[in-house]
Amino acid sequence: MSDGLLMRLKGSVVSGDGRAALELTKELLKMGEDPVKVADSVSEGLKEVGDLFEAQELFLPEVMRSANVAKTVLNLVVPIIQGKGSGTGKSEGRIAIGSLGPHDIGKTLVATMLISEGFQVEDLGTMLTPEKVLNSVHDIKILGLSVLLTSDVRRAGEIIKRAKAANPSLKVMVGGTAVNEKTAREIGAEAYGKDAKEAVKIARDLLGERG
Protein backbone atom coordinates (compact mmCIF):
# COMPACT_ATOMS: atom_id res chain seq x y z
CA MET A 1 0.00 0.00 0.00
CA SER A 2 2.77 2.42 0.92
CA ASP A 3 4.39 1.94 -2.51
CA GLY A 4 1.22 3.25 -4.11
CA LEU A 5 1.15 6.24 -1.77
CA LEU A 6 4.81 6.97 -2.49
CA MET A 7 4.07 6.95 -6.23
CA ARG A 8 1.14 9.30 -5.66
CA LEU A 9 3.40 11.57 -3.62
CA LYS A 10 5.89 11.69 -6.47
CA GLY A 11 3.03 12.52 -8.85
CA SER A 12 1.79 15.32 -6.60
CA VAL A 13 5.26 16.88 -6.66
CA VAL A 14 5.31 16.70 -10.46
CA SER A 15 1.82 18.19 -10.75
CA GLY A 16 2.47 20.81 -8.10
CA ASP A 17 -0.43 19.69 -5.90
CA GLY A 18 0.66 20.88 -2.47
CA ARG A 19 -2.47 19.82 -0.60
CA ALA A 20 -2.27 16.25 -1.88
CA ALA A 21 1.47 16.06 -1.18
CA LEU A 22 0.98 17.20 2.40
CA GLU A 23 -1.87 14.75 3.05
CA LEU A 24 0.05 11.87 1.51
CA THR A 25 3.18 12.68 3.51
CA LYS A 26 1.26 12.80 6.78
CA GLU A 27 -0.47 9.53 5.94
CA LEU A 28 2.81 7.81 5.09
CA LEU A 29 4.48 8.98 8.29
CA LYS A 30 1.45 7.93 10.35
CA MET A 31 1.73 4.46 8.79
CA GLY A 32 5.36 4.32 9.90
CA GLU A 33 6.91 4.64 6.45
CA ASP A 34 10.64 5.33 6.39
CA PRO A 35 10.99 9.13 6.00
CA VAL A 36 14.00 8.52 3.75
CA LYS A 37 11.68 6.79 1.27
CA VAL A 38 9.39 9.82 1.42
CA ALA A 39 12.35 12.08 0.65
CA ASP A 40 13.31 9.69 -2.16
CA SER A 41 9.88 10.15 -3.74
CA VAL A 42 10.30 13.91 -3.57
CA SER A 43 13.73 13.62 -5.18
CA GLU A 44 12.34 11.42 -7.98
CA GLY A 45 9.50 13.87 -8.53
CA LEU A 46 11.87 16.81 -8.79
CA LYS A 47 14.07 14.89 -11.23
CA GLU A 48 11.03 14.26 -13.45
CA VAL A 49 10.11 17.94 -13.22
CA GLY A 50 13.65 18.84 -14.32
CA ASP A 51 13.44 16.44 -17.26
CA LEU A 52 10.07 17.86 -18.33
CA PHE A 53 11.39 21.40 -18.05
CA GLU A 54 14.41 20.50 -20.17
CA ALA A 55 12.05 18.99 -22.76
CA GLN A 56 10.00 22.23 -22.64
CA GLU A 57 6.94 20.33 -21.45
CA LEU A 58 6.88 22.35 -18.23
CA PHE A 59 7.60 26.03 -17.76
CA LEU A 60 9.24 28.01 -14.97
CA PRO A 61 6.07 28.85 -12.97
CA GLU A 62 5.18 25.13 -12.91
CA VAL A 63 8.71 24.20 -11.89
CA MET A 64 8.60 26.72 -9.04
CA ARG A 65 5.24 25.36 -7.89
CA SER A 66 6.67 21.85 -7.78
CA ALA A 67 9.72 23.13 -5.90
CA ASN A 68 7.48 24.73 -3.29
CA VAL A 69 5.53 21.48 -2.89
CA ALA A 70 8.80 19.60 -2.40
CA LYS A 71 9.92 22.10 0.22
CA THR A 72 6.67 21.66 2.14
CA VAL A 73 7.17 17.89 2.29
CA LEU A 74 10.83 18.18 3.24
CA ASN A 75 9.94 20.52 6.09
CA LEU A 76 8.08 17.56 7.59
CA VAL A 77 10.50 14.71 6.91
CA VAL A 78 13.95 16.29 7.18
CA PRO A 79 13.84 16.90 10.96
CA ILE A 80 12.77 13.27 11.47
CA ILE A 81 15.62 11.95 9.33
CA GLN A 82 18.15 14.25 10.97
CA GLY A 83 16.91 13.19 14.40
CA LYS A 84 17.44 9.55 13.56
CA GLY A 85 20.89 10.30 12.16
CA SER A 86 22.10 12.38 15.07
CA GLY A 87 24.84 10.84 17.15
CA THR A 88 25.67 8.20 14.56
CA GLY A 89 27.85 10.27 12.25
CA LYS A 90 31.03 8.71 10.97
CA SER A 91 33.84 10.88 12.23
CA GLU A 92 35.93 9.84 9.26
CA GLY A 93 33.19 10.96 6.87
CA ARG A 94 32.68 14.62 7.66
CA ILE A 95 31.10 16.48 4.74
CA ALA A 96 30.23 20.14 4.18
CA ILE A 97 27.60 21.05 1.63
CA GLY A 98 26.28 24.34 0.29
CA SER A 99 24.49 26.00 -2.61
CA LEU A 100 25.99 28.80 -4.67
CA GLY A 101 22.53 30.21 -5.40
CA PRO A 102 19.51 31.13 -3.28
CA HIS A 103 17.72 27.79 -3.70
CA ASP A 104 18.27 25.05 -1.13
CA ILE A 105 15.98 22.14 -2.05
CA GLY A 106 18.62 20.06 -3.84
CA LYS A 107 21.20 20.78 -1.16
CA THR A 108 18.74 19.88 1.58
CA LEU A 109 17.86 16.59 -0.10
CA VAL A 110 21.51 15.61 -0.46
CA ALA A 111 22.35 16.60 3.11
CA THR A 112 19.34 14.67 4.40
CA MET A 113 20.29 11.51 2.52
CA LEU A 114 23.87 11.71 3.74
CA ILE A 115 22.75 12.19 7.35
CA SER A 116 20.39 9.22 7.04
CA GLU A 117 23.39 7.12 6.03
CA GLY A 118 25.35 8.16 9.10
CA PHE A 119 27.62 10.86 7.68
CA GLN A 120 28.40 13.98 9.67
CA VAL A 121 27.15 16.86 7.55
CA GLU A 122 27.75 20.56 7.98
CA ASP A 123 25.22 22.64 6.06
CA LEU A 124 26.95 25.75 4.75
CA GLY A 125 23.68 27.24 3.54
CA THR A 126 22.99 29.17 0.36
CA MET A 127 24.75 31.97 -1.55
CA LEU A 128 28.03 30.23 -0.80
CA THR A 129 31.26 32.25 -0.81
CA PRO A 130 34.90 31.14 -0.58
CA GLU A 131 35.04 32.61 2.92
CA LYS A 132 32.19 30.40 4.15
CA VAL A 133 33.98 27.33 2.84
CA LEU A 134 37.39 28.31 4.15
CA ASN A 135 36.00 28.60 7.67
CA SER A 136 35.21 24.86 7.59
CA VAL A 137 37.56 23.37 5.04
CA HIS A 138 40.21 22.09 7.47
CA ASP A 139 37.67 19.95 9.34
CA ILE A 140 36.06 18.20 6.36
CA LYS A 141 36.98 15.46 3.94
CA ILE A 142 34.38 16.12 1.25
CA LEU A 143 32.88 19.37 -0.03
CA GLY A 144 29.57 19.23 -1.87
CA LEU A 145 28.45 22.13 -4.06
CA SER A 146 25.03 22.73 -5.61
CA VAL A 147 25.38 24.78 -8.81
CA LEU A 148 22.07 25.68 -10.40
CA LEU A 149 22.97 28.71 -12.53
CA THR A 150 25.52 28.79 -15.34
CA SER A 151 26.64 32.19 -14.05
CA ASP A 152 27.82 30.44 -10.86
CA VAL A 153 30.03 27.82 -12.54
CA ARG A 154 33.11 30.02 -12.60
CA ARG A 155 32.57 30.98 -8.95
CA ALA A 156 32.28 27.28 -8.07
CA GLY A 157 35.66 26.73 -9.71
CA GLU A 158 37.17 29.54 -7.65
CA ILE A 159 35.74 28.12 -4.43
CA ILE A 160 37.11 24.67 -5.26
CA LYS A 161 40.54 26.09 -6.11
CA ARG A 162 40.79 28.03 -2.84
CA ALA A 163 39.39 25.17 -0.75
CA LYS A 164 41.91 22.69 -2.14
CA ALA A 165 44.75 25.14 -1.62
CA ALA A 166 43.77 25.27 2.06
CA ASN A 167 43.17 21.50 2.31
CA PRO A 168 45.03 19.59 -0.43
CA SER A 169 43.45 16.25 0.52
CA LEU A 170 39.91 17.60 0.09
CA LYS A 171 37.58 15.82 -2.35
CA VAL A 172 34.80 17.76 -4.08
CA MET A 173 31.51 16.60 -5.55
CA VAL A 174 29.13 18.88 -7.43
CA GLY A 175 25.55 18.68 -8.64
CA GLY A 176 22.82 20.89 -10.05
CA THR A 177 21.40 21.90 -13.39
CA ALA A 178 24.38 24.07 -14.38
CA VAL A 179 26.96 21.27 -14.23
CA ASN A 180 27.67 17.83 -15.68
CA GLU A 181 30.52 15.33 -15.69
CA LYS A 182 32.61 17.45 -18.07
CA THR A 183 32.02 20.70 -16.21
CA ALA A 184 32.81 19.05 -12.89
CA ARG A 185 36.26 18.01 -14.10
CA GLU A 186 36.90 21.43 -15.65
CA ILE A 187 36.29 23.26 -12.38
CA GLY A 188 38.38 20.84 -10.33
CA ALA A 189 35.76 18.55 -8.78
CA GLU A 190 36.35 14.81 -8.43
CA ALA A 191 32.75 13.81 -9.10
CA TYR A 192 29.35 14.88 -10.41
CA GLY A 193 26.10 13.54 -9.00
CA LYS A 194 22.76 13.82 -10.74
CA ASP A 195 20.63 13.32 -7.62
CA ALA A 196 20.66 12.78 -3.86
CA LYS A 197 20.91 8.97 -4.06
CA GLU A 198 23.94 9.19 -6.31
CA ALA A 199 25.54 11.72 -3.96
CA VAL A 200 25.54 9.14 -1.16
CA LYS A 201 27.27 6.58 -3.38
CA ILE A 202 29.80 9.17 -4.52
CA ALA A 203 30.58 10.16 -0.94
CA ARG A 204 31.28 6.52 -0.06
CA ASP A 205 33.45 6.10 -3.15
CA LEU A 206 35.46 9.26 -2.45
CA LEU A 207 36.13 8.21 1.11
CA GLY A 208 37.06 4.72 -0.11
CA GLU A 209 39.59 6.18 -2.52
CA ARG A 210 41.33 7.73 0.42
CA GLY A 211 41.45 4.50 2.36
**Can you tell me whether residue 72 is helix, strand or coil?**
helix
CA distance 193 to 180: 8
Q: Which helix (H) or strand (E) holds 62?
A: helix 60-85
Distance CA(155)–CA(100), nearest Å, equals 8
Q: Report pLDDT for 93.
A: 61
Strands of the chain, DSSP E: 90-99, 119-125, 142-146, 171-175, 191-192
Question: Taking residues 184-193, what's their average pLDDT?
Answer: 97
Domains, the chain, with CATH or none? 2-85 (1.10.1240.10), 90-209 (3.40.50.280)
Model confidence over 3-27: pLDDT tens digits? Answer: 999 999 999 999 999 999 999 999 9
Rounded Cα distance, 162 and 85, in Å: 31
Q: What is the pLDDT of residues 61-115, one digit of tens each?
A: 998 899 999 999 999 998 998 787 654 455 456 999 999 998 888 898 898 888 8
Mean pLDDT of 180-193: 96
The C-alpha atoms of residue 75 and residue 67 are separated, in whole angstroms, by: 12
Distance between terminal CA atoms of the chain?
Answer: 42
